[in-house]
Amino acid sequence: MLTKTLVLGSLAALASAHIKVSSPEPYGASNLDNSPLLPDGADFPCKQRIGVYDVEGASNVYALGSTGHPLAFVGSAVHGGGSCQVSITYDARPDKNSVWKVIKSIEGGCPAQGQEGNMGSNANQEVPYKYNFDIPSDIPAGNGTIAWTWFNKVGNREMYMNCGPVTLEGQGGSQEAYNALPDMFVANLEDINDCRVPAGVDVVFPSPGSRVERLNGPTNAFGTPDGEQCKPTGSPGGGNGNGGGAPAPTVAPPTTEAPAPTPTGDAGSDDRATLPGGIFIPVLDTTTPYEGPQPTSAPDTGYEPEPIPEPVPGPAPIPEPEAPVPVPAPSEPAGDGVYAPGTPCSEEGQWNCIGGDSFQRCASGNWSTVIQLAAGTNCEPGQGADINMIVTRNGRKRALRKTSVVV
């Protein structure tokens, strides 16, 4: 049942209006969705996917010792804020064994301040709250990867992580200074560690470093994470990431590629979220309850107004016949079983599993684009109102019962 819940949760999260970073410029902007990391940590770090480290014109060039670099976001599901970190590794293509060191911690009020829930349903709106970070002057120059991580305050227990290329320019830094920085905090990923952030609190990082900013406000409620592995550790994959020394960086000139295009459109109007290859699954976001004012009954004044006489109805107007609405004919799949995205489909909500490792769906009368399933997850090829999922855990395959997702 837990495995089934995780699979369904990962599908439903794809179309939500969560948060993703816009500055620093991220890798793979064209297929970076704004959902959290998978609950089991399968896509840690950097939301592993097809094209995860494609530069696509992104460029983040900073001088050692420079200050005031912007940290900005797009999206609307801010989940009451939370706590964020900015970290650096000298790996160009980080994996689960990469060393991440924190250069800025923000405890509370990130990526939004004074919010009890969300800020709408537009996945592409600019978050009005701005933050910044500095580059240490004593770490080595070179190329690597910069990451933003976020632990939301309200809603499901999640970890968000976006990554981008980074070039550090200057001289005089040392590997020892880099190693002395705190490890990146990792939590809420069940196959990575047993560390979890309690709901309803802005997490206080076990090892935030010397560059830490604490933002207070009307929703102020700081708390510590739960779990033995939340403590700072030097072992790979531990509660605070990976300790130990990182490989020496290589110096390279800054990139001259053009910046990646800024996403446009209103995901609140058509509920679409971009993914590897493109996918949209309309869903109703029920993660955040309505917390606005509740209706109250009117006071009893003892006065009863006189009834207003009902108007005498006249003859009902004769409606004009409506012109029939043309219904497009359903499209035919290509030889590989893939329907062309945007072509008509006849059975709303129907699934189309393609080759066992990707799928598309009939939504709003048209076929969606195709999404690749996460590693270790497969579906039974074919079409139907249900999608049969097969999950591989520790080398063992487990077939789930037919699953139907209400959207």
pLDDT in tens, 161-170: 999 999 999 9
Q: How many domains does the chain have?
A: 2
Question: Are 370 and 239 in a shared domain?
Answer: no
Residue 178 lies in a domain: yes
324-361 residue pLDDT tens: 555 556 667 766 788 888 788 888 878 888 888 888 88
Q: Which CATH number goes with the domain that contains 119?
A: 2.70.50.70
Residue ending a domain, among 267, 299, 324, is 267
Query: In this prediction, what percent of the chain has a pLDDT beyond 70?
Result: 66
Residue 3 lies in a domain: yes
- Cβ neighbours, 10 Å, residue 289: 7
Residue ending a domain, among 267, 292, 314, is 267
Question: Are 69 and 182 in a shared domain?
Answer: yes
Question: Are 11 and 22 in a shared domain?
Answer: no
215-247 residue pLDDT tens: 866 667 899 999 988 876 443 333 333 334 444
Question: Are 114 and 209 in a shared domain?
Answer: yes
Residue 406 lies in a domain: yes
Question: Are 62 and 114 in a shared domain?
Answer: yes
| Residues 380-399 as b or e (16 or more Cβ within 10 Å = b) | beebeeebbbbbeeeeeeee
Identify the weakest region by mean pLDDT among 34-38, 52-56, 113-117, 389-393. 389-393
Residue 64 lies in a domain: yes
What's the CA dihedral at 171, 175, 176, 181 to 10 degrees? Answer: 90
Residue 398 lies in a domain: yes
Question: Are 81 and 227 in a shared domain?
Answer: yes
Residue 314 lies in a domain: no
Question: Are 9 and 56 in a shared domain?
Answer: no
Question: Are 70 and 97 in a shared domain?
Answer: yes
Per the prediction, the chain carries an average pLDDT of 74
Residue 324 lies in a domain: no
Residue 320 lies in a domain: no
DSSP 136: -
Question: Are 65 and 201 in a shared domain?
Answer: yes
- Cβ neighbours, 10 Å, residue 55: 15
CB 70 within 8 A of CB 130: yes
Question: Are 212 and 256 in a shared domain?
Answer: yes
Residue ending a domain, among 267, 300, 320, is 267
Q: What does pTM read for this prediction?
A: 0.57
Question: Are 109 and 198 in a shared domain?
Answer: yes
Question: Are 45 and 150 in a shared domain?
Answer: yes
For 263, the domain range is 18-267
